[in-house]
Structure 1
Amino acid sequence: MKTLPTSGIRSWFSPWRLLLIAIVVVALALLAKRIWFTPPPPPQVATAPVTKADVEDTVLATGTIGAAKLVSVGAQVTGKVERLHVALGDTVKQGQLIAEIDALTQQNNLRNAQAALKSAEAQLRSRQAALKQAELTAARLRQLVAIDAGSRSDLEAAEATLSTSRADVAVQEAQIAQAKVAEDTSKVNLGYTRVTAPMDGVVVAIVTEQGQTVNANQSAPTLIKLARLDTMTIKAQISEADVPRVKPGMPVYFSLLGDPDKRYETKLRAVEPGPTTLATDTSTTTTSTTATAIYYNGIFDVANPDGKLRINMTAQTSIVLAQVKDALTIPSGALGARDTHAGEGRYKVRVMAGGRIMEKSVRIGLNNRVRAEVLEGLAQDEQVVTTEAKVGAVSANNQRGGPPPMF
């Protein structure tokens, strides 16, 4: 048997070769420990704490702000606007003079009516005198006929004349009544040439300028628009899906597009029974060939003491269906499947504790799909799992275990 020389054995076990072997062995040991003996990493999840907060369920709607009362002040007579006594933005009182319309035509009509009345009164006096004469003639003939000194035919003619005179007086009295009505109408029309404010309010629009001619025979011309702005009325469009849940008296709050941080609070006054398109709908059938969204106006009022709310502003409106204050809440996304076996309103929720995930059954109250009220099952500051990161596929050797690969 051939043996290696001593010098060859020493060269084989040289320090450098032994160091290299040791490094390889240590690397293999570390690799084996990492593959077979390292515990699995903790689950990669996103959590959220159980916190106290207010929860409310709302119906969102877009509303349009209008005046509580808006009146179009028009002219009831035809003529030129001689003077306009108000300007845009003026505050006026009820009965205050707004405009004067050329009154010459109305003054002439009044004079004609007064003259006609005087003429009718004069004719009445004439008919009354004729009646008096007929009464005297008939009375005298009756006396003569009674002593056979007069003709009966003359008496009959006198009686007929008397009846005719009485009828003429009655006709003339009716004509006087008509003349008085015409005079009163002319006075009213003359009064219409001075247009006054029907209520307290603010001039929000000037429709007819001074010097323009208005024609009341063809339409009812509008001079100005007068509005009460101390209280505003908002009409918010509520979708047909939300209308069954909305009731008058529910709390409402809204904000303006130009001032989203200020919140105005009030209560819902009414919900219109017909859709918003009812006033302009000319169809006679209830079916529609096109699918259109249906909305109903929810109406509510709000005080406007500082005048910040203006006509036709847009109001981003929330109608509060239900709300709870200072309740334990979790994100709605943390809710798992319904736990029907544990009772109504029960859900399964995963909770992170001590680096481990456990499942709990909790009872949920108000849930607005953003945050949910916790009634039972969780304590404040517990961490609930909202999402979990997906882990990539693990190697087949790591899944089934077994001896390390042979080199």
Structure 2
Amino acid sequence: MSITKTSSERMPTMNAPVPPDDVDGLALPPAWTAPARRARGSRRLVLGLSAAGLAALGTLAVMGFRAPSPDSLYETVAVTRQDIESTVAATGKIQPYASVDVGAQVTGQLKHLRVAVGDKVTAGRVVAEIDAEVQSAKVEGIEADLARLTAELAEQEAGLVFAERNVERHLTLSQTSAVSKLAFETTTRDRDILIARIDASKARIRQMQADLRAQKTALRFARITAPMGGTVVSVDAKEGQTLNANYDTPLLLQIADLDTMTVWTDVSEADVVKLREGMPLWFTTLGRPDRKWHATLRQIQPAPRRPDNKKAETKTTPQSGNVVLYTALFDVPNADGSLRAGMTAQVFFVTAAAQNALVVPVASLNDKGEVRVLREDGTIAVRKVEIGTRTRFVVGITSGVTDGERVITGLKSAGPPAKLRVES
């Protein structure tokens, strides 16, 4: 029986070792396994990656759950005590409390000007003189006419005495028919004519006396006196200037009482409703912003002031597009003369005030009238407070917080929220 070998049996497998013919005493090697050193390196790599991942997770966990310092998160302000006041701001012009324009009431040449700007004068002092030759001549002429009329009146009165006696004589003779009736009526007529002439002369004398008084008054007006005491603030004429008072009163100078000044303040229609007469106020000037003048509101004019500085009209307000302004007046002593006419005043009308009040910033309040107080242990207390006097920046608190506590006004920077316990 022959055995036929297959091709796989006849030819050895490629790369496979060919066993010797005698394999009884040969020790075969064990099956193939991965090298041990390479397995240990892989395990170390896995363990390293795991440790790095755990470290990263731990870092993230610490960063996510560790509470930062409250001071690093919140803007805080300590509750303090101070004097506060709520005010309405406005701008005004400082003017003299009383002033008068001194003019010439007669026509003529300004002969003497006896004052200068800055001079102090008293009431009745002569400040200017106008050449009065024309007025003097008119007075003399009227006096002469008056003397002539007076003489004519005396003559007429003497003739009246004779005429009355003549009428009495003719009356007696007419009763005995010694004179005619026509002669008696003629004497009566002459007496009545004299009486009428005397009345006319008396009327002319009264008229002449009135003219004389007017001319004497004009002659006195040639010596111009101060109508009030004060300071000469302006002079508008020069010596030698010809003044014509027939059509208008020429302005010579202005006198003002600078011991008391009046501030004319412009207040908008939105703020005028907050003012009341008698309320306190204070103001500063551009030249002395560090000094405060205190006063009391005297008057609020009822009609708005027109933009062109004309007199206010009660029937209408300024045209649309213009700011409606009301004028508030108050007086302030000026004994030292530091306030001058025309200065600009920054006025603050005090609508409410509180002394030694607990104060917090407006930014620390929410819409519910609450504040957040940061305690020393890091906790936050939300408190309802009672609000007193309020300004644009701070609020007076009557209850809810104490002096020295710190209230939160905002966040310093964005970041993870603090793990803080909030107590109500």
Q: TM-score range by the shorter chain?
A: 0.7 to 0.9
Q: 2:399 aligns with which of 376, 390, 405?
A: 376
* Match status 1:73 vs 2:96: no
Equivalent runs, 1:311-390 vs 2, <5 Å: 311-338=341-368, 347-353=369-375, 354-389=377-412
| Cα offsets for 1:298-347 (capped at 9, x unmatched) | 11101111111000100000011110100111011111012xxxxxxxx1
Shift, 1:176, TM fit: 0.9
2:220 maps to which residue? 191
Identify if the C-alpha distance between structure 1 residues 23 and 192 changes in structure 2 by more than 3 Å, giving closer, same or farther: farther
CA displacement at 1:257 relative to structure 2: 0.3
How many residues are paired up? 381
User: Which letter does structure 1 place at the counterpart of 2:360?
Assistant: I
Deviation at 1:392, TM superposition (A): 5.6
2:265 corresponds to 1:236: yes
* Aligned-partner Cα distance in 2 for 1:231–1:139: 77
Equivalent position of 1:200 in the other structure = 229
In the alignment, structure 1 residue 306 sits paired with structure 2 residue 329: no
In 1, Cα distance between equivalents of 2:39 and 2:183 = 184
Q: Deviations over 1:47-106 (max 9, x none)?
A: 111110112111101010000111100000111111100111001111111011111111
Q: 1-side partners of 2:317 and 2:282: how far apart?
A: 35
Structure 1 residue aligned with 2:182: 153
Q: 1:260 aligns to what SS in structure 2?
A: coil
CA contact (8 A) 2:111 2:240 kept: yes
Query: How far apart in 1 are the matches of 2:74 and 2:112?
Result: 78
Aligned counterpart in structure 2 of residue 32 of structure 1, from 51, 54, 57: 57
Shift of 1:369: 2.6
Q: Which SS does the other structure have where 1:350 is aligned? A: strand
Query: 1:233-272 alignment to 2 at 5 Å?
Result: 233-272=262-301
Q: How does 1:3-42 map to 2 (within 5 A)?
A: 8=37, 27-37=52-62, 38-42=65-69
5+ residue gaps in structure 2? 1-30, 418-424
Do structure 1's residue 100 and structure 2's residue 129 form an aligned pair? yes
Of 284-293 and 295-304, deviating more is: 284-293
Alpha-carbon distance between aligned partners in 2 of 1:161 and 1:323, rounded to the nearest angstrom: 93
Aligned-partner Cα distance in 2 for 1:313–1:27: 77
Give the superposition deviation at 1:151. 1.2
Q: Which runs of 5+ in 1 are unaligned?
A: 339-346, 395-407
Q: Secondary structure at the match of 1:149?
A: coil
Cα–Cα, structure 1 residues 266 and 281, in superposed 2: closer, same or farther, change >3 Å?
closer
1:134 partner letter = A
- Once the two structures are TM-superposed, the CA of residue 216 in structure 1 deviates from its matched residue by 0.7
Matched residue SS, 1:191: helix
Tell me the alpha carbon deviations over residues 192-233 of structure 1, each in whole angstroms, 9 at most, x when there is no partner.
Answer: 111011111101001111111111112111101000000001
Listed one character per residue, the Cα deviations across residues 158-208 of structure 1 (whole Å, up to 9, x for unaligned) are: 112111111111111111111111111111000111101111110100111
Contact 2:127 2:226 in 1 (8 A): yes
Compare 177-186 and 352-361 and name the one that shifted more. Answer: 352-361
The reply to whether residue 46 of structure 1 matches residue 75 of structure 2 is: yes
Q: Deviations over 1:261-290 (max 9, x none)?
A: 000001111111111218626989736653
Name the SS of the counterpart of 2:183 in structure 1. Answer: helix
Q: Which of the two has higher C-alpha Rg?
A: 2
Structure 1 residue 119: deviation in Å?
1.3
Give matches, 1:97-246, under 5 Å. 97-246=126-275
Mapped partners of 1:25, 1:142: distance in 2? 165
- Answer whether contact 2:303 2:312 (CA < 8 A) is retained: no
Aligned partners of 1:133 and 1:310: how far apart in 2?
Answer: 76
State the match for 1:398 in structure 2: none
Could you say if the C-alpha distance between residues 265 and 23 of structure 1 is closer, same or farther in structure 2, counting changes exceeding 3 Å? farther
* Partners of 1:381 and 1:312 in 2: CA distance: 46
What is the distance in 2 between the residues matched to 1:263 and 1:103? 51
- Alpha-carbon distance, 1:39 to partner: 1.8
- Which of 259-268 and 21-30 deviates more? 21-30
Q: What's the RMSD between the two structures over aligned residues? A: 2.6
